[in-house]
């Protein structure tokens, strides 16, 4: 797999302090890129940034930390405002942050947390950064989805889990929404020089399972199995890095990759009518008026 140099390029990675996002950040700075780590916990992010600089031998200036809580539309707006004020270009936006199978929780704006963070927060983030991405073309948007999208459905009559909540179904729905969003974004960006591709990283040993209860006695065995059976964060980050940097996918758009290869999606993940409808409703939900 050939990777281009990332020297002079600016990349935003959401959820960059942990798991796949952290490994993606480290790989991009190793290639000479500069990464803005968009994270909700400033202390954890600073610590991760310090470690990444130490591990990779990168320049301090290649890694910066900015606060972004995707569970707050005000925070998304403040983050984008700051980026637009301070950055002259944005070459790659990696929508990586995610929450998995949490108990029913609401974002600051009242959205179910998994749909709110995994889909709506990133939807608004991308919308607000699009002008900067367009000005920086050729540029790329990379969306981290999951194979679990296959279990997802978009129920427009209860998008916000007001009537019922199933934590696994809500995660699957949010990851299906990621794919529909990415496909629609790619269609809307045709000819702009900004590409949008998604990926599924496989099963990766990260902090994602924090809300999945494992009995205390079984935890050491579970950790051992996870280390043996799951991908490392570095392995899990490979397709994110490929889509962000590889010359092989320059100009490629609207696809979903796994193991650095394009995948065929289920019809409902690539249905333009469904994607268009979700886009329109998402705009209303996050208060986009243009």
Ligand X SMILES: NC(=O)c1ccc[n+]([C@@H]2O[C@H](COP(=O)([O-])OP(=O)(O)OC[C@H]3O[C@@H](n4cnc5c(N)ncnc54)[C@H](OP(=O)(O)O)[C@@H]3O)[C@@H](O)[C@H]2O)c1
Residues in 142-171 at the binding interface with ligand X, rule: CB under 6 A: 144, 146
From 19-27, 58-66, 211-219, 243-251, give the range in contact with ligand X by CB under 6 A. Answer: 19-27
DSSP the chain: ------TT-EEEEETTTSHHHHHHHHHHHHTT-EEEEEES-HHHHHHHHHHHHHHH---GGGEEEEE--TT-HHHHHHHHHHHHHH-S---EEEE-----SPSS-B-TTS-BHHIIIIIIIHHHHHHHHHHHHHHT-SEEEEEE--GGGGG----GGGTT-SS---HHHHHHHHHHHHHHHHHHHHHHTTTTTEEEEEE---SB-SSGGGGS---GGGHHHHHHHHHHHSBPHHHHTHHHHHHHH-GGGTT--S-EEETTEE-PPPGGGS-HHHHHHHHHHHHHHHT---
Among 69, 91, 112, 184, binds ligand X (CB under 6 A): 69
To ligand X, the closest distance from the beta carbon of 76 in angstroms equals 9
Please tell me whether residue 269 binds ligand X under the rule CB under 6 A. no
- The residue of the chain with the least Cβ separation from ligand X equals 19
Among 63, 117, 154, 159, binds ligand X (CB under 6 A): 117
Q: Closer to ligand X by CB, 142 or 245: give it.
A: 142
Q: Closer to ligand X by CB, 192 or 235: give it.
A: 235
Residue 257 is a catalytic residue: no
Please tell me whether residue 98 binds ligand X under the rule CB under 6 A. yes
From 69-77, 125-133, 187-195, 272-280, give the range in contact with ligand X by CB under 6 A. Answer: 69-77
Please tell me whether residue 19 binds ligand X under the rule CB under 6 A. yes
From 13-21, 129-137, 244-252, 264-272, give the range in contact with ligand X by CB under 6 A. Answer: 13-21
d(CA 203, CA 171): 15
Please tell me whether residue 44 binds ligand X under the rule CB under 6 A. yes
Among 10, 11, 12, 17, binds ligand X (CB under 6 A): 17
Please tell me whether residue 76 binds ligand X under the rule CB under 6 A. no
Please tell me whether residue 20 binds ligand X under the rule CB under 6 A. yes
User: Among positive and negative, which fits the CA dihedral 169, 257, 267, 288?
Assistant: positive
Asked if residue 9 lies in contact with residue 91, where contact means CB atoms within 8 angstroms, the answer is: yes
d(CA 216, CA 196): 42
Please tell me whether residue 183 binds ligand X under the rule CB under 6 A. no
Please tell me whether residue 96 binds ligand X under the rule CB under 6 A. yes
Please tell me whether residue 93 binds ligand X under the rule CB under 6 A. no
Please tell me whether residue 70 binds ligand X under the rule CB under 6 A. yes
Please tell me whether residue 201 binds ligand X under the rule CB under 6 A. yes
Which among 288, 274, 76 is positioned nearest to 177, based on CA atoms? Answer: 274
From 125-133, 184-192, 202-210, 215-223, give the range in contact with ligand X by CB under 6 A. Answer: 202-210
Q: Provide the token pair at 149.
A: 């999208």
Beta-bridge mates of residue 194: 139
From 4-12, 92-100, 243-251, 265-273, give the range in contact with ligand X by CB under 6 A. Answer: 92-100
- Catalogue the active-site residues: 171
Footprint of ligand X on this chain (CB under 6 A)? 14-15, 17-21, 39-41, 44, 68-71, 96-100, 117, 144, 146, 201, 203-204, 206-208
């Amino acid at each position: 797999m050939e990777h281009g140099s990332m020297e002079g390029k600016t990349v935003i990675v959401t959820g960059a302090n942990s798991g796949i996002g952290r490994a993606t950040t480290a790989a991009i700075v190793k290639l000479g890129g500069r990464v803005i780590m968009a994270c909700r916990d400033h202390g954890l992010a600073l610590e991760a940034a310090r470690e990444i600089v130490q591990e990779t031998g990168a320049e301090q200036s290649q890694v910066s930390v900015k606060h972004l809580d995707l569970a707050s539309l005000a925070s998304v707006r403040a983050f984008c405002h700051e980026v637009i004020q301070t950055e002259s270009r944005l070459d790659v936006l990696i929508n990586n942050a995610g929450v998995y199978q949490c108990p029913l929780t609401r974002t600051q704006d009242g959205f179910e947390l998994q749909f709110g963070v995994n889909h709506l927060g990133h939807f608004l983030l991308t919308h607000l950064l699009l002008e900067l991405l367009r000005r920086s073309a050729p540029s790329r948007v990379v969306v981290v989805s999951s194979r679990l999208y296959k279990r997802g459905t978009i129920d427009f009559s209860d998008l916000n889990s007001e009537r019922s909540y199933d934590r696994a179904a809500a995660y699957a729905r949010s990851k299906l929404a990621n794919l529909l969003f990415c496909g629609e974004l790619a269609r809307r960006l045709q000819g702009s020089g900004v590409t949008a591709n998604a990926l599924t990283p496989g099963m990766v040993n990260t902090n994602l399972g924090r809300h999945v209860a494992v009995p205390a006695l079984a935890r050491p065995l579970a950790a051992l199995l996870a280390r043996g059976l799951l991908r490392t964060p570095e392995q899990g980050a490979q397709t994110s890095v490929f889509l962000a940097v590889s010359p092989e996918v320059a100009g490629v758009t609207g696809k979903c990759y796994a193991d650095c290869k394009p995948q065929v999606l289920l019809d409902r993940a690539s249905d333009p009518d469904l994607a268009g409808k979700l886009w329109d409703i998402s705009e209303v939900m996050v208060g986009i008026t243009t």
